[in-house]
C-alpha cells in the first residue's frame, strides 16, 4: 500500500495498462516530454517513447479524431483534453461521432478509447477553465462517464476505463490532483458503473461526485459531531453506467436525499438522480430532495467569489441542518 497523489495515480494507471497492452497509446497536448500541464503524466514519455506517448498540436478535433480512427481500427487510445472546457471545441467528435458510431453502423464498429480531461473549479482559473461538465457527457447516449474522487479510484477506474471496450469520458477533478491517498500495490483494476458507500448514517444520504466527495465527507463528520445528524455518503464515481442499485438502496434507508454537485444548477447529474428517485422510490422519501449545486452562473475567478459559489463542507452542513428535519 503506497501513498500516492491523485495526479500520480493517473500516470500509474496509464503506465500499468501500457505495460500490459501494446495497443494502448496516449496522445494529447503537452502530455509527453512536458509530463502534462498538471504533471499527471510524468514519466510516461520516458518509459514508453514518442511512438506511444504522442504530443499533439493544439488541435482538439485532431486529437479526438485520431483517437476515434485508431480505436475503430485496432488501437486502444487514451486522449487527453487538457481542460474539460475545451471539449466544446471538439464536441462533434465526442457527441456525434464517437458516441454514435457503433449504434449507427448496426454494431459494426468498436470504440475502445478513453478521453481524459481535467475538470472542475477551485483553481481560480475563471469560467473557461473551471467548468464541471460531466453532465454534458452524461446526456449523450453511447458514452460512459467516470469521475473519481480519490487516488485509489483514479488508478482503478482509469485502468478499468482503458480496458473497457466502449468509449469512456474520464473526468479528473483538477483541484484534487495534489491530494494524497493510499493505493493498493500491484495491478489495480476497478469496476465501472459501481458507486461506493463511504460512510454509513441513518438520518440522511448525501450523494456526491469527484471533488464534492471529500467535502461531503467533511460535512458528514461535522454533522455528526456538532448536530447529532448521521449521514450516509455515497460516491457516485460513475455517471454512466449509473449504479442505481446502490444509490437507491442507500437513499431508501434514510428516506432523505441530498445531492452535492459541482455543476451549475440546471441539468446536473443530481437532477437525474432526483428524477429516478421520484419515479422509483417515491414512497421511501421522508422529506424533500435537496440539491446543493453551484448557482446557475459562469464560475467567477476571484478566490472569494469562487469559494462562495462552489458547494463547501460548511454549506452542505448548513443546508442539511436547516432543511433535513
Partner 1 sequence: MATKPKAVAKRKASATSSAKSSVKSRAKAAPKRVAKAKVSRANDDIGEDTRLALWRSLLEIRHVEQRAYDLFLQNLVKGTSHLALGQEAVAAGFATAMQKDDWSFCTYRGHHHTLARGASMEGVLGELMGRECGLLKGKGGSMHLTSVEHGAMGSYAIIGAHLPIAMGAAWTAQYKKTGQVSVCFFGDGTTNIGAFHEALNMSAVWKLPVVFVCENNLYMEYTPIKDVTAVHNPAGDRAASYGLPKIVIDGNDADEVYRTAQTAFAKARAGEGPSLIECLTYRHSGHSRADPGDYRPPGELEAWLKKDPVPRYRERLAEFGIAQDVIDGMDAEVLAQVDEATEISKASPPPGLDLIDVDVWADGGTAWRN
Partner 2 sequence: MDVIMPQLGETVAEGTVSVWHKAIGDTVSTKEPLFDVSSDKVEMEVPAPAEGTLLEIRVDVGITVPVGEVIAIIMREGEVIEVDAGLAGKPEDPAASKAAVPAREVSIKAANRDANGNPLSPAVRRLVAQNSLDPRAITGSGMKGRIKKKDVLAYLANGGASRTVSAPPPLNFSEDDTEIIPFNKLRKLTADHMVRSKATSPHVLQAVEADFVRVARARAGVSGAWKKREGFSLTYLPFIAKAVCEAIREFPRVNAAIDGENLVVFRRVNLCIAVDLDFDGLVAPVIKDADQMPLQELARAIRDVSERARTNQLKPGDFTEGTYTVSNSGVFGTMITAPIINQPQVAILSTDGITKKPVVIETEDGDTIGIRPVGVLAQSFDHRAIDGAYSAAFLNRVREIIQTRDWATVLS
Q: Which residues are catalytic?
A: 129
Is 61 an interacting residue with respect to partner 1 (CB under 8 A)? yes
Residue 172, strand partner residues: 118
Please give the distance of CA 179 from its chain centroid, rounded to a whole number.
15
Q: Which residues contact 30 (CB under 8 A, 6 or more apart)?
A: 36, 37, 55, 82
Q: In angstroms, what is the minimal distance from the CB of 287 to partner 2?
A: 5
Which cell numbers hold the place of 124? 481560480
- Smallest CA-to-CA distance from 292 within 267, 320, 324 is with 320
Q: Interacting stretch for partner 2, rule CB under 8 A, among 72-80, 204-212, 280-288, 303-311?
A: 280-288
Q: Which range, of 3-11, 36-44, 56-64, 251-259, touches partner 1 by CB under 8 A?
A: 56-64
Total site size for partner 2, rule CB under 8 A: 8
Please return the burial class of 105, using the count of CB atoms within 10 Å of its CB with bins 0-12, 13-18 and 19+.
Answer: exposed
The residue within the footprint of partner 2, chosen from 1, 73, 106, 283 (CB under 8 A), is 283
In the set 59, 128, 226, 275, which binds partner 1 (CB under 8 A)?
Answer: 59
Instruction: Say if CB 97 and CB 152 are below 8 A apart.
Output: no
The span from the CA of 93 to the CA of 10, in Å, is: 24
* Four-CA torsion 221, 261, 274, 254, nearest 10 degrees: 0
List the Cα angle 64/61/191 in 5-degree steps: 25
Which range binds partner 2 by CB under 8 A, 167-175, 266-274, 283-291, 304-312? Answer: 283-291
- In this chain, which of 287, 296, 302, 314 binds partner 2, going by CB under 8 A? 287
Instruction: Mark the segment that binds partner 1 (CB under 8 A) among 37-45, 102-110, 127-135, 228-236.
Output: 102-110
Return the closest-CA partner of residue 79 out of 183, 158, 180, 150. Answer: 158
Query: How far, in Å, CA of 37 to CA of 14, rounded?
Result: 16
Which of positions 212-251 make contact with partner 1 (CB under 8 A)? Answer: 240-245
Cα 287 off chain centre by: 28
Report the residue from 55, 230, 272, 284 that binds partner 2 according to the rule CB under 8 A.
284
Residue 79 vs 154, nearer CB to partner 1: 79
Say how far residue 236 (Cα) sits from the centre of its chain: 9
Applying CB under 8 A, among 100, 255, 272, 276 the residue interacting with partner 2 is 255
> Of 98, 37, 95, which is closest to residue 67 (Cα–Cα)?
98
The yes or no reply on residue 282 touching partner 2 (CB under 8 A) is: yes
Q: Does 286 bind partner 1 (CB under 8 A)?
A: no
Question: Rule CB under 8 A: is residue 141 a binding residue for partner 1?
Answer: yes
51 touches which of partner 2, partner 1, none (CB within 5 to 8 A by kind)?
Answer: partner 1
Going from the C-alpha of 286 to that of each of 189, 260, 314, the distances in angstroms are: 37, 19, 24
* Closest separation in Å from C-beta 274 to partner 2: 13
Using CB under 8 A, list all residues that contact partner 2: 255, 282-287, 325
Using CB under 8 A, list all residues that contact partner 1: 25, 51-52, 54, 56-57, 59-75, 77, 92-93, 96-97, 101-110, 112, 141-142, 164-166, 193, 240-245, 276
Amino acid at each position: 500500500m503506497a501513498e500516492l497523489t491523485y495526479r500520480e495515480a493517473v500516470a500509474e494507471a496509464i503506465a500499468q495498462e501500457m505495460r500490459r497492452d501494446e495497443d494502448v497509446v496516449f496522445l494529447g497536448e503537452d502530455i509527453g516530454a512536458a509530463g502534462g500541464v498538471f504533471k499527471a503524466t510524468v514519466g510516461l514519455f520516458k518509459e514508453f517513447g514518442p511512438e506511444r506517448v504522442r504530443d499533439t498540436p493544439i488541435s482538439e478535433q485532431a486529437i479526438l479524431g485520431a483517437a476515434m480512427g485508431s480505436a475503430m481500427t485496432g488501437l486502444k487510445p487514451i486522449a487527453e483534453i487538457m481542460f474539460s472546457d475545451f471539449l466544446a471545441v471538439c464536441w462533434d467528435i465526442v457527441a456525434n461521432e464517437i458516441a454514435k458510431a457503433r449504434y449507427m453502423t448496426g454494431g459494426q464498429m468498436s470504440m475502445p478509447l478513453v478521453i481524459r480531461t481535467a475538470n472542475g473549479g477551485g483553481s481560480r482559473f475563471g469560467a473557461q477553465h473551471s467548468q464541471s461538465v460531466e453532465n454534458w457527457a452524461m446526456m449523450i447516449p453511447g458514452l460512459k462517464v467516470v469521475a473519481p474522487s480519490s487516488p485509489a479510484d483514479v488508478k482503478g477506474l482509469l485502468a478499468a476505463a482503458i480496458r473497457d471496450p466502449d468509449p469512456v469520458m474520464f473526468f479528473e477533478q483538477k483541484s484534487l490532483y495534489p491530494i494524497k491517498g493510499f493505493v493498493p500495490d500491484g495491478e489495480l483494476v476497478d469496476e465501472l458503473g459501481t458507486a461506493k458507500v463511504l460512510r454509513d448514517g441513518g438520518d440522511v444520504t448525501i450523494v456526491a461526485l469527484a471533488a464534492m466527495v471529500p467535502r461531503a465527507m467533511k460535512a458528514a463528520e461535522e454533522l455528526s459531531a456538532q448536530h447529532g445528524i448521521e449521514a450516509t455518503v455515497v460516491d457516485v464515481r460513475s455517471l454512466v453506467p449509473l449504479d442505481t442499485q446502490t444509490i437507491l438502496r442507500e437513499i431508501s434507508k434514510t428516506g432523505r436525499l441530498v445531492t452535492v454537485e459541482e455543476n451549475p444548477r440546471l441539468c446536473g447529474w443530481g437532477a437525474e438522480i432526483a428524477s429516478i428517485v421520484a419515479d422509483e422510490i417515491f414512497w421511501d422519501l421522508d422529506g424533500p430532495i435537496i440539491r446543493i449545486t453551484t448557482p446557475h452562473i459562469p464560475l467567477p475567478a476571484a478566490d472569494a467569489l469562487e469559494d462562495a459559489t462552489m458547494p463547501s463542507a460548511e454549506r452542505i452542513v448548513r443546508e442539511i441542518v436547516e432543511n433535513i428535519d
